[in-house]
């Protein structure tokens, strides 16, 4: 049947499915995944080269703070924004920014990254602070219009993340007399909480969808206590002096995450890389929380727990989700290629080298740092090589988005 012979409402429906505009700017995941992956591939080896004195670059903030900030509010925030703008449309059926409006958000993010090394600090701060409140407002608007109250806490956490970013810049500029590392730790804690909430929804659902007969029923008290203990433990780590209370709460949170993961039956995912990467990444949550617990009594450096959560958990979940969601939203099968499996393995290798090798062989710290940077950068370079052409092209099924 020809389109013009269909009833009028069917014609309208068919027209709504047609691709519109530049493919890269049709849905939030497309430009923000490309930008986030590119930043990840470049900034870590650049930071290591700066740390080892091989590159003479003076960013706007002290180098260590700049590195930590750009990994959180440059890289991770870009992926979170891309994911939420895409998920917001899926959750509500309402349009999220696309075309010029989406392009403006991406340019704002990019301008902040450039200003971090090439502009006055005030310009960098203004550009950098602006993005997350805008995205939080967009998300709140579509959720309220659709009466989708279940996902409003994610918008709240995004708003808190924006607040942590503002405090960081005010601290660096000397406006607030707080250590600039504190809001960065708070930012990591908030990102971890976003990941814990989303992992509890998607990992068991994805696991059941590819395992015939498997029924995973969430134990409500485990979910609530796990999230509560994690939030409290991270808050104590960020805002309170090291103490036995912090040790106990963080250790409890670690144990609860182990139980949560085991309830999701990770063993059934061994032959499905696009799924096992999510389980493997989640396993770094209890490791990171346990290391932060030990740091409360000085047995390990805080950086070990920080990088377990930042590289192993956050990096692992990101590489897993940006491959899976990009495949799904470009109309491709949810099956990882050899290149993607290599990227997964490289991120997990980077985590082991950065977190565990320095603990067991401190004399190899520099080698561990360089090896982790190479593995990390290679993983996201593989992603860019594989996915950028897809993200810049129309969906395989011809649909919009």
Q: How many CB atoms neighbour CB 189 within 10 A?
A: 22
Cβ pair 194, 159 in contact under 8 A: no
DSSP state of 82: H
Rounded Cα gap, residues 381 and 394, in angstroms: 22
**Domain spans of the chain?**
24-48+62-391
Residue 10 has pLDDT above 70, yes or no: no
For residue 188, what are the contacts with CB-CB under 8 A and spacing of at least 6? Answer: 72, 306, 309, 310, 314
Residue 385 has pLDDT above 90, yes or no: yes
Instruction: Using pLDDT thresholds of 50, 70 and 90, give the confidence band for residue 273.
Output: very high
Determine which of 24-33, 147-156, 227-236 has the lowest per-residue pLDDT on average. 147-156
Residue 189 has pLDDT above 90, yes or no: yes
Rounded Cα gap, residues 317 and 195, in angstroms: 8
Residue 41 has pLDDT above 90, yes or no: yes
For residue 321, what are the contacts with CB-CB under 8 A and spacing of at least 6? Answer: 79, 83, 202, 278
Provide the pLDDT for residue 19: 64
Instruction: Using pLDDT thresholds of 50, 70 and 90, give the confidence band for residue 12.
Output: very low
pLDDT digits (tens, 9 = 90+) for 282-340: 999 999 999 999 999 999 999 999 999 999 999 999 999 999 999 999 999 999 999 99
Nearest residue to 29 (alpha-carbon basis) of 397, 399, 398, 388: 388
Provide the pLDDT for residue 18: 57
Provide the pLDDT for residue 359: 96
pLDDT digits (tens, 9 = 90+) for 233-250: 999 999 999 999 999 999
DSSP state of 7: -
Mean pLDDT, rounded, for 177-181: 96
Residue 3 has pLDDT above 80, yes or no: no
Rounded Cα gap, residues 44 and 310, in angstroms: 12
Instruction: Using pLDDT thresholds of 50, 70 and 90, give the confidence band for residue 7.
Output: low
Residue 16 has pLDDT above 60, yes or no: no
Q: Mean of the per-residue pLDDT values for the chain?
A: 93
- Which is more confidently placed, 11 or 368? 368
pLDDT digits (tens, 9 = 90+) for 136-173: 999 999 999 999 999 999 999 999 999 999 999 999 99
Residue 252 has pLDDT above 90, yes or no: yes
What is 24-48+62-391's CATH number?
Answer: 1.20.210.10
Residue 125 has pLDDT above 90, yes or no: yes
Provide the pLDDT for residue 8: 52
Mean pLDDT, rounded, for 6-16: 46
Provide the pLDDT for residue 173: 95
- Tokens 């503002």 map to which residue? 166
């Amino acid at each position: 049947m020809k389109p013009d012979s269909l009833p009028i409402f069917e014609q309208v429906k068919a027209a709504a499915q047609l691709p519109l505009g530049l493919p890269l700017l049709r849905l939030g995941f497309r430009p923000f995944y490309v930008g986030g992956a590119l930043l990840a591939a470049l900034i870590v080896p650049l930071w290591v080269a700066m740390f080892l004195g091989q590159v003479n670059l003076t960013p706007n903030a002290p180098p260590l703070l700049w590195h930590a900030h750009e990994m959180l509010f440059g890289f991770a925030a870009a992926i979170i924004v891309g994911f939420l703008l895409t998920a917001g449309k899926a959750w509500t059926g309402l349009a999220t920014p696309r075309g010029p409006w989406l392009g403006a958000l991406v340019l704002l993010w990019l301008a902040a990254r450039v200003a971090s090394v090439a502009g006055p600090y005030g310009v960098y701060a203004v550009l950098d602070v602006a993005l997350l409140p805008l995205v939080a407002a967009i998300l709140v608007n579509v959720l309220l219009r659709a009466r989708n109250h279940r996902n409003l806490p994610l918008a709240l956490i995004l708003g808190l993340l924006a607040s942590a970013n503002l405090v960081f810049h005010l601290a660096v500029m000397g406006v607030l007399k707080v250590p600039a590392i504190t809001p960065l730790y708070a930012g990591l804690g908030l990102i971890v909480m976003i990941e814990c909430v989303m992992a509890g929804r998607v990992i068991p659902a994805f696991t059941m969808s590819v395992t015939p007969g498997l029924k995973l029923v969430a134990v409500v008290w485990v979910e609530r206590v796990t999230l509560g203990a994690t939030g409290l433990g991270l808050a104590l780590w960020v805002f309170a002096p090291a103490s036995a209370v912090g040790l106990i709460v963080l250790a409890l949170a670690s144990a609860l995450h182990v139980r949560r993961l085991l309830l999701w039956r990770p063993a059934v995912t061994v032959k499905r890389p696009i799924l096992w990467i999510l389980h493997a990444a989640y396993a770094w949550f209890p490791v990171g929380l346990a290391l932060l617990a030990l740091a409360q009594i000085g047995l390990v450096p805080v950086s070990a727990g920080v990088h377990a959560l930042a590289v192993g958990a956050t990096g692992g979940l990101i590489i897993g989700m940006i491959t899976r969601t990009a495949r799904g939203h470009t109309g491709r099968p949810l099956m990882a290629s050899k290149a993607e499996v290599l990227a997964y393995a490289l991120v997990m290798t980077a985590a082991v080298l950065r977190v565990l090798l320095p603990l067991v062989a401190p004399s190899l710290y520099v080698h561990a740092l360089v090896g982790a940077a190479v593995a990390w950068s290679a993983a996201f370079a593989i992603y860019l090589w594989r996915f950028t052409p897809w993200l810049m092209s129309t969906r395989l099924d011809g649909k919009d988005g």
